[in-house]
Structure 1
Amino acid sequence: MQRKYIVVTGGVLSGLGKGIAMASIGNILSSSYKVVPIKCDGYLNVDPGTMNPTEHGEVFVLDDGGEVDMDFGHYERFLGVTCKFDWNLTMGRVFDEIRKKERKGDYLGHTVQMIPHVSNFIRDHFLKVGEESKADVVMIEVGGTIGDMENELYLDAIRSLARKVGRENILFVHLTYVPIPHGVDEQKSKPTQQNINLLRQKGIDPDIVIARCSEMLTEKVRSKIAKFGNLDFDKVLTGIDVDDVYKIPLSFEEQGLSQLLARSLNMPINVDLREWKCLIEKREAATKEIVIGIAGKYTSLEDSYASIVEALKHCEANCGVRIKVKWIDTEKDFDLSDVDGVIVPGGFGSRGTEGKIDVISYCRERGVPFLGICYGLQMAVIEFARNVCGLENANSTEVDGDCVHPVVDILEDQKDVENKGGTMRLGACTAYIKKGSKVFSLYGSEEVSERHRHRYEVNPEYHEALEGKGLVLSGVSPDGTLVEFVELENHPYFVATQAHPELKSSLLKPAPLFMGLVSAC
């Protein structure tokens, strides 16, 4: 079969959910084909690794160590694929690669220009990803909105791609917005009509339009959009607001999306969403509710901890419970009396650390189920060192470089690192798990692989002192020097990991440590 390409663009507003829409389309296709996603971002950062989570959302880390856009979390969770860093393009990375090629002499004798050199590089990258991954379908999401200056080169590359592979092998899906203004109570299609017109001015005619709206589109509005988009009526779908993003593939399929894709790309599609639907129904039927507190420093933007929230949703579906998240700002006074369990997630820097330590102390002393992630493990070790081992002023050198007891210290290979981008301990790392431990019972294996993103680690000089007072080092690196998991024995659930298990969690395969936390509540 000739490889197919599906391009997803967006307009009217940013933040409409193009990543979710593309992941949902891919979810429908993945029953029959190997689907590979590519994300194109217009910013000049090489990757989002050094961006503040409250500005950009969480940084999603891949097995290969790539720091990528959080949409890759949706792709992996919906498609069941392990993504690669090469599948995330930013304009910063594109220009960086062009500069390297120019210095090598690849353009010798030519004036390097935006068009054709940069746009051709982008187009060829799309083709390379498809070839190297052996994908049946390559899906390309163009970040931002149509009309953004930084997307012009991506759109030119996509036009060129269509000419290269043939119009019959590429499908354009445009996500737009239909508002219902307050006081009017009528769906307004004009912004969508104008945005489709702008897209066509860019040389791209949409094959399918998905209009985000708080209710199903009326036939009148669908007809208007179809007319202005030069589309058949059935190629205008509703991206209806839902309380659970995992319902979106089901909504698209109910509107006949798989038939549209099969007809437009001339490829048979056998959709199987039975297990997916069953898990959603199990979550919907749940009557028990528990409260999980997330104690972090980036709580002003929930997207900062998007994968943790998603991992909890996966537990809801698989455990048959409802989880209410309580956000706990560790820089302010907090009340934990109403929580059933607590997560202390990853983070960097000194801000809010003492509050996190107080939260962990509360959980340890009162038997509240606790899960520490990355920085959360380091804070748990500091709390244990201070309050159980009696190591007064124990701390991390990230917080206090002159502390008396540096129970958490910078990794040896990080001490001489100057550049901040892409230089941490990143990606999938193997850990050996202690038999008989809580972690072993959850994973069911002596060897596990989880993703990491950190510069600091539990200081090996304190391993013996910590174990001597009852902290179980239940998982370590293959050479035994790095602590990957810790736990307490005489506690309902007190587990922490240096890894980020939320990054590999999915609806069909929830993260074991999260399942353990929820089950203990």
Structure 2
Amino acid sequence: MATKYVFVTGGVVSGLGKGITAASLGRLLKARGYKVTMQKFDPYLNIDPGTMNPIQHGEVFVTDDGTETDLDLGHYERFIDESLDKNSNVTSGKVYWSILQKERRGDFGGHTVQVIPHVTNEIKSRFYRNDTDEDMHIAIIEVGGTVGDIESQPFLEAIRQFQHEVGPQNSMIILVSLLPYLRCSQELKTKPTQAAVKTMQGMGLQPDVIVARSEVDFDDELKDKIALFCNIPADNVLKNLDLKYLYEAPLAMEKEHLAQVACKCLGLECPEPDLTDWNEMVNTLYSLNHTVSIALVGKYTQLHDAYISVVEALKHGGISNKAEVNIKWVDSETINDENVAKALSDVDGILVPGGFGDRGIDGMVCAIRYARENNVPFLGLCLGMQLSIVEFARNVAGIHDADSIEFNAGTQHPVIAFLPDHDADDELGGTLRLGSYPCTLKEGSLAHRLYGSCDIAERHRHRYEVNNSFREAFVNAGLCICGTSPDNRIVEMIENPSCDFFIATQAHPELKSRPNRPHPLFAGLVEAALKHEESKN
């Protein structure tokens, strides 16, 4: 069967929630039995977001196959509960890199290489996939930025060409646009949306559906006005209002009949959806009967999107425990031995996430020591595990100058070292241990009890690992190496048996957590934090 394509674009301003709208549609279509996949096309020239500053761009989401992608793919996976891959995030950098490689090989036969047709053909080739599937397959494709951006024009032109190639009812366009509200006159303004549609029409594109983002509700009269000036049926103008919880979005868009409108545009049947588990999860969000505070001690606390998967995974852990998780954002650069107790004495759990570079490292080590010495439930992720090793080596194992070579290349006790076959001269991009790797857990360990299995797999994104030369010293000092690679060569997970809940992993388990299927490490952390709070009271 032919694949159906849904393109999601943005108008007026970015950051309106195109990704959430796209992911919500994916959830609603999957709930109706359709097979759904998702893609994000980003106009920036980076090959991938892997080397971009998290404070500017947010977190780097990693797929099972080791692709570094935009954070929107995390939303996609959490909503449609499908593992995406290298085809799911395409940047202008990837497009041009591929074209330039072809040009160097002589694939174009000496012809002049131009935006049209070469760039647009390359973009279209990334659209065309999954057509060999026997089942009905719907590809939802989000284009980053807005329709007025210069850098987005090749993508929009590619969509124009593509729609002609696949024919009617095989593709559609959803425009997510802002309806600004002027408080002084108490009016919603439609002109910016009209201007966005006019810009699209000037490029030969016509949106089939307009999803109007607004902070205030509006009536059918305003929908009729938008429909009239934007040349679409009034039923295809849908409201998308601010919500208390992110995961309400699919249910809100179901009330607006987003899936029904999309199926009509694509010539598909629209059976009743099975949203039972999603409804139950949202109902749980509205009936949380506990509150627990967990400190997130990191170096990118200025922009919470830098840790968005961690934040969402903590919320998921809260849902499974019927508890609201209040995150206390702690800038690790502000923490030291003198003030760590004051900064963390009011929390019932501590999490140190991943990251790169030496900024704020000492504060993270202080937080880890505080958690260990005061038996505060602790979870360390990637860098958080490496620093847990450094802290244990210095303060328990008696290796007082222990360090990671990432922060001190000349250290005499490099308890954290480079991955095999890597060194300091490697380029930053594409040289990490990336993607899903298997791990064998020690039977009877805390990790084993949480996962319920000895054989697991988690996604990774790191360049350094525990130096095996020190493993024996750590074990002799009381550390439990509870997870290793199947060949026992790489330390994947540790825990401290002297604490009620102290566990750290080299992986990024937050990337696989789902709102209706929380990750066991995060569910365990929240449960332990609740018990810690009860013990204090």
Q: TM-score band (shorter)? A: over 0.9
Contact 2:3 2:130 (C-alpha < 8 Å) held by counterparts: no
| Structure 2 counterpart SS, 1:479 | coil
Match of 2:522 in 1: 514
Specify the SS of the correspondent of 1:285. coil
User: Structure 1 residue aligned with 2:394, among 372, 375, 386?
Assistant: 386
Equivalence for 2:359: 351
**Paired position in structure 1 for 2:146:** 145
Q: 1:5 to 1:301 in 2, by over 3 A?
A: same
Aligned partner of 1:287 among 289, 300, 310: 289
Map 1:317-332 to 2 at 5 A: 317-332=319-334
Other-structure match for 2:180: 179
**SS of match in other structure, 1:451:** strand
User: Where does structure 1 lack aligned partners over 5 or more consecutive residues?
Assistant: none
CA distance in 2 between partners of 1:404 and 1:97 (Å): 44
Is 2:418 aligned against 1:418? Answer: no
Is 2:446 the partner of 1:438?
yes
Between the aligned partners of 1:3 and 1:348, the Cα distance in structure 2 is 41
2:462 to 431, 454, 460: 454
* Residue 71, structure 1, aligned to residue 79, structure 2: no
The residue number in structure 1 matching 2:3 is 3
CA distance, structure 1, for counterparts of residue 26 and residue 217 of structure 2: 22
Alignment of structure 1 residues 110-189 onto 2, 5 Å: 110-128=111-129, 130-131=131-132, 136-189=137-190
How far has the Cα of 1:29 moved from its partner? 0.5
Query: Secondary structure, in 3 states, of the residue corresponding to 2:380?
Result: strand
**Does 2:49 match 1:43?**
no
CA contact (8 A) 2:2 2:131 kept: no
Counterparts of 1:161 and 1:314, CA distance in 2: 39
Partner of 1:427: 435
Distance 1:130 1:239, change over 3 A: farther
Distance 2:419 2:434 in 1: 12
Q: Secondary structure at the match of 1:326?
A: strand
Partners of 1:364 and 1:213 lie apart in 2 by 46
Question: 5 Å matches for 1:238-387?
Answer: 238-270=239-271, 271-333=273-335, 335-387=343-395
Q: Which range moves more in the overlay, 365-374 or 190-199?
A: 190-199
Provide the residue aligned with 1:206 in structure 2: 207
Q: Which residue is equivalent to 1:100?
A: 101
Q: Deviations over 1:379-401 (max 9, x none)?
A: 11111111111111111111111
> Kindly tell me: are residues 79 and 198 of structure 1, through their superposed partners in 2, closer, same or farther at Cα, counting changes over 3 Å?
same
Give the fraction of aligned pairs with identical amino acids, expressed as a percent.
45
- When residues 296 and 14 of structure 1 are mapped into structure 2, their CA distance, relative to the original with a 3 A threshold, is same
Cα distance in structure 2, aligned partners of 1:133 and 1:89: 25
* Structure 2 counterpart of 1:286, one-letter code: L
Residue of structure 1 in register with 2:534 after alignment: none
Post-superposition CA distance 1:267-309 (Å, at most 9, x none)? 1233111110111111210121000110000000000000001
SS of the equivalent of 1:184 reads: coil
Q: CA RMSD in A?
A: 1.4
Say which of 493, 504, 511 aligns to 1:503.
Answer: 511
Q: Distance in 1 between matches of 2:127 and 2:433?
A: 28
Offset at residue 418 of structure 1 (A): 2.3
Q: Which residue of 2 aligns with 1:24?
A: 24
What is the CA distance between 1:416 and its match in structure 2? 6.4
Q: What 5-or-longer segments of structure 2 have no aligned partner?
A: 530-537
Structure 2: how far apart are the matches of 1:186 and 1:206?
Answer: 24
Tell me, yes or no, if the aligned pair for 1:11 and 1:175 is still in contact at 8 Å. Answer: yes
CA distance in 1, matches of 2:314, 2:241: 23
3-state SS of 1:38 partner: strand
> Which stretch shows the higher mean deviation, 442-451 or 263-272?
263-272
CA contact (8 A) 1:87 1:129 kept: no
Moved more, 260-269 or 207-216: 260-269
Q: CA deviation at 1:183?
A: 1.6
Aligned mates of 1:242, 1:508 — CA distance in 2: 18
Partner of 1:237, secondary structure, is strand
Are residues 200 and 419 of structure 1, via their aligned partners in 2, closer, same or farther at CA, if it must alter by over 3 Å?
Answer: same
Range with bigger deviation, 262-271 or 225-234: 262-271
Shift of 1:354: 0.7
C-alpha displacement of 1:175: 0.1
Contact 2:318 2:523 in 1 (8 A): no
Q: Provide the aligned length of Structure 1 versus Structure 2.
A: 521
For residues 463-482 of structure 1, what are the structure 2 equivalents within 5 Å?
463-482=471-490
Amino acid at match of 1:304: A
Please report how far the alpha carbon of residue 258 of structure 1 lies from its aligned counterpart in structure 2 after TM superposition.
2.1
Counterpart secondary structure, 1:403 = coil
Give the equivalent residue in structure 2 for 1:219.
220
Question: TM-score if structure 2 supplies the norm length?
Answer: 0.95
Say if 1:389 and 1:469, in contact at 8 Å, map to a contact too: yes
Check 1:133–1:125 CA distance in 2 against 1; reply closer, same or farther (3 A cut).
farther
**Where does 1:76-95 land on structure 2 (aligned, <5 Å)?**
76-95=77-96
Q: Is the 8 A contact 1:36 1:130 kept in 2?
A: no
